[in-house]
Amino acid sequence: MSVNGNRNRDLYHQTTAGDTETNENTPLLTNGSVPTRAKGASFSSSVFNLMNAIMGSGTLGLSYAMANTGIVGFSILLVVVSSLAAFSVHLLLKLCDQTGIKSYEGLGERALQKPGKIVVGMAIVIQNIGAMSSYLFILKSELPAAINSFLSPDNTGNAWYEDGRLLVIIVTLCVVLPLALLPKIGFLGYTSSLAVLFMMYFVVVTVVKKWSIPCPLPHNVTTLSGAFQISNSSDSDCTPKLFVFSSKSAYAIPTMAFSFLCHTAILPIYCELDRPTKSRMQNVTNVSISLSLILYVIAAVFGYLTFYAHVNSELLLSYDAYIPRDIMVMTVRLAILLSVLLTVPLIHFPARKAVILLLCGGRPFSWLIYIMTTLIILGVVLLMAIFVPDISHVFGIVGSTTSSCLLFVFPGIFYLKISSRPLSSFDSIAAVFLVVFGLIMGIISFSVIVITWAQSS
């Protein structure tokens, strides 16, 4: 675009004052001027980054969600949640083009003044710290078992690699920290491609192992850790259920919402995309969510059809119970751990960005602040992963509140407050639905988690 800054500002005021829609092929603007920028991240690199932000530990829990909702019920809910996630991204990108604002926190400030910026920033920080802590918690719990599975069963003792706390400190310092210090999120495209390939391998293993475990399930089994279990499976358990309704069904939608929460990474990826236009970034989003949806459905269906109602909340534990020390399961466990490990730096990027925006505002970039913020956030995450004995309840509550807000509530409210479109337009009606759906989902899931927690206590 060869126009001066004043003309850009005039065009911007005409667009926001009237009801003219922004051209979806117009590059992202920044404060009314088009800065000179280096070549950005490629389309494929952006897709891998976004898929890595979408697919995480949620992949392991979707078979359990299907067991508690049924194949048809699960499929309908997953398609609805993924469609709403894609639409809420559409609203964010539309607001980004209309206002020239390129951060989630900035949109919050534009819609709700300074309180909006603070609320959104805190939600991003809490959500991402909780997610990173849960990932490192998984590494602390599973990495020693993964290493032991490749060693001799007779190998006993207190070796250093059997200490999960020591291992998580080592991998954080040697892998997570160097990747988290990279200045641009686009640089993580290579590690994200590896993480996505690991997830695809996990999906392939769930398909292959469907025919390795008979149904009804064996009655007496021994897990990898040596624990003895008794399975009460019968012929009737080998019939897939189309619809299931129980108290555990309330956990399905929060699990799905968390599985598609990528909104904190959307705008950073958009800003670094080569030739960043709304239509191009929307294509990145649609491709990423569609591919993730396909992988999610395949993993969930074949995981469920392997164990039916006896599927564990973490799918890999189910395989450990019936085919311990299986080579493919052992390698897929390692692949999942590597995928989770490579996802942590990607989640760290928007968390650090939110902290710097909240504390430093529009100050010039400082490497000292950048490095100190990185170290502090990783320090907090590492402490939580090491010393919190059971992070599931905390993570469940954080996920049921911040996930629903970032995925549904905030995009809808921001669009209704910022956009000049009439309330009777399709986008405005859909934004109202997003807000209502997000609030209902968040309240119900939060209540169920608290009640279940209280009853178990």
> Is residue 406 assigned to a domain?
no
Residue 6 within a domain? no
pLDDT over 90 (residue 150): no
Cα angle 146, 152, 157 (rounded to 5 degrees) comes to: 80
For residue 370, tell me if it sits in a domain: yes
Give the pLDDT confidence score for residue 39 in this predicted structure.
64
Residue 207 forms part of a structural domain:
yes
Share of the chain above pLDDT 90, in %: 16
Q: Given a cut of 60, is residue 392 above it in pLDDT? A: no
* pLDDT value of residue 14: 39
The answer on pLDDT for 393 being more than 70 is no
Residue pLDDT, tens place only, 119-139: 999 999 988 888 888 888 888
Distance of CA 363 to the CA centre of its chain: 30
Residue type, 80: V
The bridge status of strand 228-230 relative to strand 220-222 is antiparallel
Asked whether the predicted pLDDT for residue 156 surpasses 60, the reply is no
If you write DSSP's letter for every residue of 26-52 in order, what string do you get? SBPPBTTB-------B-HHHHHHHHHH
**Cβ 15 vs Cβ 253: under 8 Å:** no
Specify if 63 maps to a domain.
yes
Structural domains counted in the chain: 1
Q: Mind listing the pLDDT tens digit for each residue in 83-110? A: 998 999 999 999 988 888 888 888 999 9
**Confidence bin at 289 (pLDDT 50/70/90):** very high
Ramachandran quadrant class, 369 (left: phi over 0; alpha: psi -120 to 50; beta: rest): alpha
| 448 found inside a domain | no
Question: Is the distance from CB of 381 to CB of 441 less than 8 angstroms?
Answer: no
Q: What is the span of the domain harbouring residue 176?
A: 38-100+132-388
In the DSSP assignment, the letter for residue 184 is -
- pTM equals 0.77
pLDDT value at 47 more than 60: yes
Residue bearing tokens 């004052």? 17
In a domain, 457, yes or no: no
For the chain, state the CA radius of gyration: 23
What integer pLDDT is reported at residue 396 of this predicted model? 63
User: Is position 420 within any domain?
Assistant: no
Q: Which two tokens stand for residue 385?
A: 């992963």
- Taking only the tens place, the pLDDT of each residue in 394-445 is 656 776 788 888 888 999 999 999 988 888 889 899 999 999 988 988 888 7
DSSP codes, 367-409? HHHHHHHHHHHHHHHHHHHHH-S--HHHHHHHIIIIIHIIIII
User: Three-state DSSP class for 410?
Assistant: helix
Q: What is the pLDDT of residue 337?
A: 86
Helix and strand numbers (H, E) in the chain are: 18, 2
What percent of the chain has a predicted confidence (pLDDT) above 70? 81
